[in-house]
């Protein structure tokens, strides 16, 4: 979005503000020209600008004089948060013209807000569309305790643990190849090292 703006700066000690009230637009100054109203003077009109609360710190933009240099092209933008004042010395008023446009940062913020709102809306729709599980489905989803044929810790079934304890109790440390014999009793592909380790984990003696 953009549009035209114009401003008349009159000579004198009082500065002319670029904006009368805060806005969200970037103001781009494109040209300064001697105003056709009033009597033109050969004495130069010096246009300067100040940015911020200190109006004494001024920067000259151009010198305009009737019959010599009556207009001057400028390309200078001022952000929406900048306090800008124009100052003019001489006898002739000056017309400033340019265009305004939306601040890019404001556009980016609006786009981010729109994207966040859209994501929140889609997430809400997914939540609402997800069916509530029935009591039966909820019960089926719960982990079941390890039974006689269900692997428990580290893939051991209750039956294998019982066989492990029984076989280990029937032997002792003096029994040759004790854990190999225990592994044969346990079965299920359990190695002697696995049997020995799990027996210690069970805390059995």
77-92 average pLDDT score = 93
- In a domain? residue 140: no
In a domain, 117, yes or no: no
Q: How many domains would you assign to the chain?
A: 2
Instruction: Give yes or no: residues 6 and 99 share one domain.
Output: yes
Question: Considering the domain boundaries, does residue 133 fall inside one?
Answer: no
Quick one: which of 99, 20, 79, 90 has its CA closest to 48?
Answer: 90
Do 87 and 10 share a structural domain?
yes
> Which range has the worst mean pLDDT, 23-32, 56-65, 137-146?
137-146
Task: Tell me the CATH number at 50.
Answer: 2.60.120.340
For residues 19 and 99, membership in a common domain is answered with yes
In a domain, 193, yes or no: yes
In a shared domain, residues 17 and 80: yes
Domain boundary among 44, 68, 103: 103
One domain for residues 96 and 164: no
Prediction pTM value: 0.50
94-149 pLDDT tens trace: 999 999 998 766 555 556 667 788 888 888 877 777 666 677 676 666 655 544 44
CATH number, domain of 169, equals 1.10.10.60
Same domain, 93 and 6: yes
> Of 45, 77, 103, at which residue does a domain stop?
103
Residues 153 and 99 in one domain: no
The domain of 56 spans 2-103
Nearest residue to 47 via CA among 70, 20, 81: 70
């Amino acid at each position: 979005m953009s549009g035209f703006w114009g401003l008349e700066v009159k000579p004198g000690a009082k500065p002319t503000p670029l904006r009368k009230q805060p806005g969200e637009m970037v103001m781009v100054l494109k040209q300064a020209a001697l105003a056709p109203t009033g009597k033109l003077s050969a004495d130069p009109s010096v246009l300067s600008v100040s940015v911020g609360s200190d109006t004494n710190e001024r920067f000259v933009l151009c010198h305009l004089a009737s019959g010599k240099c009556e207009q001057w092209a400028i390309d200078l933008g001022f952000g929406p948060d900048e306090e800008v004042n124009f100052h003019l010395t001489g006898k002739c008023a000056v017309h400033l013209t340019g265009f305004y446009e939306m601040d890019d940062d404001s556009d980016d913020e609006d786009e981010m807000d729109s994207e966040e709102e859209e994501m929140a809306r889609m997430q809400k729709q997914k939540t609402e569309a997800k069916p509530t599980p029935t009591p039966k489905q909820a019960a089926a989803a719960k982990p079941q305790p390890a039974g006689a044929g269900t692997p428990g810790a580290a893939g051991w079934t209750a039956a294998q643990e019982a066989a492990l304890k029984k076989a280990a109790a029937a032997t002792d440390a003096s029994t040759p190849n004790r854990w190999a014999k225990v592994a044969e009793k346990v079965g299920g592909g359990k190695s002697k090292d696995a049997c020995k380790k799990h027996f210690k984990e069970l805390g059995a003696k």
